[in-house]
Chains A and B, each alone.
Chain A
Amino acid sequence: MNKQKHSMQPIPSHDEAVRQDFVTDFRAFLTDEIYPKITPYYQSKIEPDFIKEHGRKPEDKKEVQNVMLQDSAYQSWSFLQRISQQMMFTSVIDTVERTLDELIKKTKKYSELGSLELDQTIQIPRYLTAYDIHQQPGGYHTENTENDISAGVVYDISLPIYSGDAMGDENDLLAQATINFIKNNIKTVPKKILDMGCYIGNSTLPFAKAFPESEVYGIDVAAPGLRYAHARANALDASVHFSQQNAESMSFESNTFDIVTSCLFLHETSHAAIPKIINECARVLKPGGWMIHMDVYPFQRNVVEPLYDFLKDWEVINNNEDFSGALREMDLQGIFEEAGFSEETIEFTSAEASSETNKGYTGDFYLKLPVYVAQKMA
């Protein structure tokens, strides 16, 4: 199987390739062989022990957490899951480091379509610099050399390992689901589309391809991702306008876009940032325009099984996704209304990728994707 999916990706050496393959198989092993044992183990050992001591079942995720973090069998799985992510990055970084100089030179060739605008004065928000989200060494923004693209390349070639090859050759499965949602439910033909937190354009390029008549814009704060995004878009023959901006305060004029979208973005910001970002969405949308954010977690606060609730938060603690838990506790409905979205159009629902894009993958995680949708008042 050829690992190179487009010409801006590096080709791993023999040993690098099989080292990366090991991580793919290690993660599959954890998912298929170890993880399914946790619920039965909890039910047959942890919960009965808890009942013996307290005379009742654990009430919420906090109580489950207190006992699980003391349990070495659970903690062994958790630690293995955590280091599989670290091994993924180190095995990919070897390839990127070895080929980086050549790749940076190549970006010059891949620059004709669309545009790239960087802003050296931009401040990277603290929520992106305080710790490295999902354990990518250096995070999204770190620059290791001139015109650096390394963090973007690392992100690109680690996603197939992360997802067990479930995202499609262009890592576009999630955006395809959003596009399906727009085509089925919103039914406008957008003239201008904005993707916030676009990084390397995984979620942006599919819009340029699905709506060839429209102008597509992508913004992000992280330069290494944007430089790579522009070159990658050219390698994949897509025209997108990328610029380095903070979604909390953008330079676009008001009433510009028909659709403002994002993918895996909101859960990586902060409490203070969310209302600002939503206000910006409302400002740059045309009256009657639609906002649609796709994120990892369904947005519902009804009570679930405490063990399930606890396991759902695994990434929050163990994969440096600190804000993703807190986002679920926020009053997004209220924030949307406050920003000027009409109440009756606000929906926390899910979008589905079609079978052509999911490559036969049937796991719920990739097929029923949470979206938060709202229309700006006309």
Chain B
Amino acid sequence: MAKKITLPRVAKGKNLIYLDDNSVDNILAMVMTLTQEISVLTDRLDTIENLMAKKGQINIDDINSFEPDNELQEKRSERRKILLKRVLLPIEKALDSK
């Protein structure tokens, strides 16, 4: 059994406020993490679909050891970009306003 070691996940530094206050910043950070998790789920589903198209029957190891080729990587990148564009639309719009 590997030893369980816990690593720090928060960096030490000044507390900066970007938007109205820390809670607004926190909500935007949480939205981006949720967006990331949607992307993870979508990629997992994409892995399953790709394996199913090839094999018919698959198990959890097939999924976990799946490595997308370059073409699939690019397709996924494109799809993530569309996801980001949707989520960040209000921010893009604000920067486009004159």
Q: Is the CB of B67 within 8 A of A2?
A: yes
Q: Is the CB of B9 within 8 A of A87?
A: no
Asked if A29 contacts B12 (CB within 8 A), the reply is: no
Residues of A within 8 Å of B76, CB to CB, are: 18, 21
B95: which A residues are within 8 A, CB to CB? 34, 37-38, 41, 73-74, 77
Q: How far is the CA of A84 from the CA of B63 in the complex (A)?
A: 27
Out of B29, B40, B85, name the residue touching A15 (CB < 8 Å). B40
Q: Is there contact, CB below 8 Å, between B36 and A14?
A: no
Is B11 within 8 A of A135, CB to CB?
Answer: yes
Q: How far is the CB of A38 from chain B (nearest CB, A)?
A: 7
- B3 and A145 contact, CB distance less than 8 A: yes
Contact A137 B7 (CB under 8 A): yes
Q: Which A residues are in CB contact (< 8 Å) with B16?
A: 82, 317-318
What band does the interface of chain B fall in when counting residues whose beta carbon is under 8 Å from A? 35 or more
B12 pairs with A78, CB closer than 8 A: no
Q: In the bound complex, do residue B3 and residue A18 qualify as a contact, i.e. CB atoms below 8 Å apart?
A: no
For B94, give its contact among A19, A73, A144 (CB under 8 Å): A73
Counting CB contacts under 8 A, is B50 at the interface? no
Tell me which of B5, B25, B91 contacts A97 (CB under 8 A): B5
- Please tell me if the beta carbons of A18 and B40 are within 8 angstroms of each other in the complex: yes
Contact flags A106-135 to B (C-beta < 8 A → 1, else 0): 000000000000000000000000111001
Encode A1-32 as 1/0 by CB contact (under 8 A) with B: 11000000000011100110111011011000
Identify which of A88-96, A330-338, A357-365 touches chain B. A88-96
A80-B28, A145-B3 as given contacts; A22 in contact with B11, CB under 8 Å: no
> In terms of DSSP, what is the predominant structure of the interface of chain A?
helix
Least Cβ–Cβ distance between B79 and chain A, in angstroms: 9
Question: Contact at A76–B85, with CB atoms within 8 Å?
Answer: no
**Across-interface contacts of A19 in B (CB, < 8 A):** 36-37, 39-40
Decide: A22 near B7, CB < 8 A? Known: A79-B25, A79-B28.
no
B53 contacts partner chain A, Cβ-Cβ < 8 Å: no
Give the chain A neighbours of B9 by CB distance below 8 A: 89-90, 93, 137
CB atoms of A72 and B10 under 8 A apart: no
Evaluate whether A76 and B94 lie within 8 angstroms (CB atoms) in the complex, with A13-B64, A18-B43, A132-B13 already known.
yes
Interface mask (A36-50 → B, CB under 8 Å = 1, otherwise 0): 011001001100000
Sort chain A's interface into a size bin: 35 or more
- B9-47: contact bitstring with A at CB < 8 Å (1 yes, 0 no)? 111111010110000010011001101110110011001
Interface membership of B98, Cβ < 8 A: yes
Asked if A100 lies at the interface with its beta carbon under 8 angstroms from chain B, I say: yes
Interface residues of A in 63-82 (CB under 8 A from B): 72-80, 82
Q: A25-B84, A77-B95 are in contact. Are A97 and B14 (CB under 8 A)?
A: no
Chain B nearest CB from A126 CB (Å) reads: 12
Instruction: Tell me the minimal C-beta distance from B84 to chain A in angstroms.
Output: 5
Judge whether A80 and B91 touch: CB under 8 Å: yes
Say yes or no for B6: interface residue by CB 8 A criterion.
yes
Contact with A along B59-85 (1 / 0, CB 8 A): 000011111101001001100110011
Could you say which residues of chain A place their CB within 8 Å of the CB of B77?
Answer: 21, 25
User: Which chain A residues border B70 with CB–CB below 8 Å?
Assistant: 1
Q: Please, which residues of chain B bring their CB within 8 A of the CB of A212? A: none
Q: Known contacts A45-B98, A77-B91, A142-B8: does B66 contact A14 (CB below 8 Å)?
A: yes
Interface pair B73/A1, CB less than 8 Å apart: yes
Inter-subunit contact A33/B8 (CB<8 Å): no
**Is A26's CB under 8 angstroms from B32's CB?**
yes
12 intermolecular pairs with C-beta atoms under 8 Å apart: A1-B70, A2-B67, A13-B64, A15-B43, A22-B35, A25-B84, A33-B92, A34-B88, A77-B91, A137-B12, A142-B8, A320-B11
Closest 5 CB pairs of A and B: A73-B94, A79-B18, A18-B43, A132-B11, A101-B2
